[in-house]
Structure 1
Amino acid sequence: MAENGATEGAQPQVQMNVLGQFIRDMSFENVMAQKGTGTEAQPDVSVQVNLDAKKRTTENQYEVITKLVIESKVKETGDVLFVFELEYVGIFNISGVPEDQLHPFLLIECPRMLFPFLRRIVSDVTRDGGFPPLNLDNIDFVAIYRNELARRQTESAAEQPTQ
């Protein structure tokens, strides 16, 4: 043990800096306004979340993409009120994360860091689109990551030839 109480060979300090964040693509389709009708009906909102990450050419820099597809329908009739698609990107400088932990770190911790900004955009756009502001519930990025791993394992198992 070293004098400062740290064990020799200890993991390096994890560092994460958000270098930038931006909307890569956004679409808000107010279907009710296009039809020229209004409604006070109870909405049924579905939210789909997809995550992606890729290494940038600069050392220790990564791009993390969160894609949202939000659809609001009238509960009783199923008529579409609005469709909102958003692709939000964060650029991160990350060091000190072991290679075997980098993938989950990129797809769990980075989106979690950007989520408050994403939530604000969704709230503002839905309000400006003539609807009550949609305040997204917290997203469980760990569950999304685990579900994607399970889906990939199932997919690869299905592709294996049987003997």
Structure 2
Amino acid sequence: MTDTPEAAPSAAPQVKMSVLAQFVRDMSFENVVAQKGLNTGEVQPDVQVAVSLDARKRSTEHQFEVINKFRVTSKNKANGDTLFLLEIEYAGIFHVEGVPEEQLHPFLLIECPRLLFPYVRRIISDVTRDGGFPPLNIDSVDYLALYRQELARRAAAQTPEMVN
């Protein structure tokens, strides 16, 4: 008898993933306070962060482009004036192998953006600081919850309304 473990015939394929590149696809920062010369007086910023995702297959086999899109708006709570607006699309090129087809979509929209997040958070912090505001360190994004919300939204959009 040998002690050599045998591989199960139905063993799942080994998942391989690597980040080939990451970059800013598009970015805009508007310092409304400086542009309009607003008298801000006592400022109580109200910061809203909207996140959306996109993923697409590239022409090279097993390569995908995943895009984190952030829209950060800061308004003065006292009067509703916009202080700044930051929009950024941060992308990564990923090589992904061994992920079953039915799991590829969630993998691309949950795991890949999770790897990119620390870098885009740093850019947002630097841009807001360099734009004359305190550096904004946005909270971590729950990409699983974001993915589930998008699935629920799509399901609701496809469900026909009941007519009485």
Distance in 1, matches of 2:39 and 2:92, equals: 36
Matched, 1:19 2:29: no
Shift of the 84–6 alpha-carbon distance from structure 1 to 2, 3 Å rule, reads same
Name 2:36's counterpart in structure 1: 35
Local SS of the residue matching 1:158: coil
Partner residue in 2 for 1:124:
126
Correspondence 1:47 to 2:49: yes
User: Could you say which residue in structure 2 is the equivalent of 1:150?
Assistant: 152
Query: How far apart are the structure 2 equivalents of 1:37 and 1:127?
Result: 19
In the alignment, which residue of structure 2 is the partner of 1:95? 97
Deviation at 1:5, TM superposition (A): 5.2
Q: Distance in 2 between matches of 1:38 and 1:52?
A: 38
Aligned counterpart, 2:84: 82
For residue 37 of structure 1, report the CA deviation from its aligned partner.
3.3
Q: Deviations over 1:92-143 (max 9, x none)?
A: 0000100000000000000000000000000000000000000010000001
Q: Which amino acid aligns with 1:11?
A: A
Partner Cα distance (1:92, 1:22) in 2:
12
Q: Secondary structure at the match of 1:146?
A: helix
Compared CA separation, residues 9 and 125, structure 1 to 2 (3 A): same
Q: What residue ranges of structure 2 are gaps of 5+ in the alignment?
A: none
Q: Which residue in 2 is equivalent to 1:107?
A: 109
Which secondary structure does the structure 2 equivalent of 1:12 belong to?
Answer: coil
Displaced runs of 4 or more, over 4 A: none
**Superposition map of 1:50-69 within 5 A:** 50-69=52-71
Superposed displacement of residue 6, structure 1: 3.6
In 2: Cα distance, 1:106 partner to 1:8 partner = 27
Identity of aligned residues (%): 64
TM-score relative to the length of structure 1: 0.93
Task: Provide structure 1 residue ranges, at least 5 long, that are not aligned to the other structure.
Answer: none
Cα deviation code 1:78-104 (max 9, x no counterpart): 110000000111000000100000000
Q: Could you say which residue in structure 1 is the equivalent of 2:135? A: 133
Aligned residues: 160
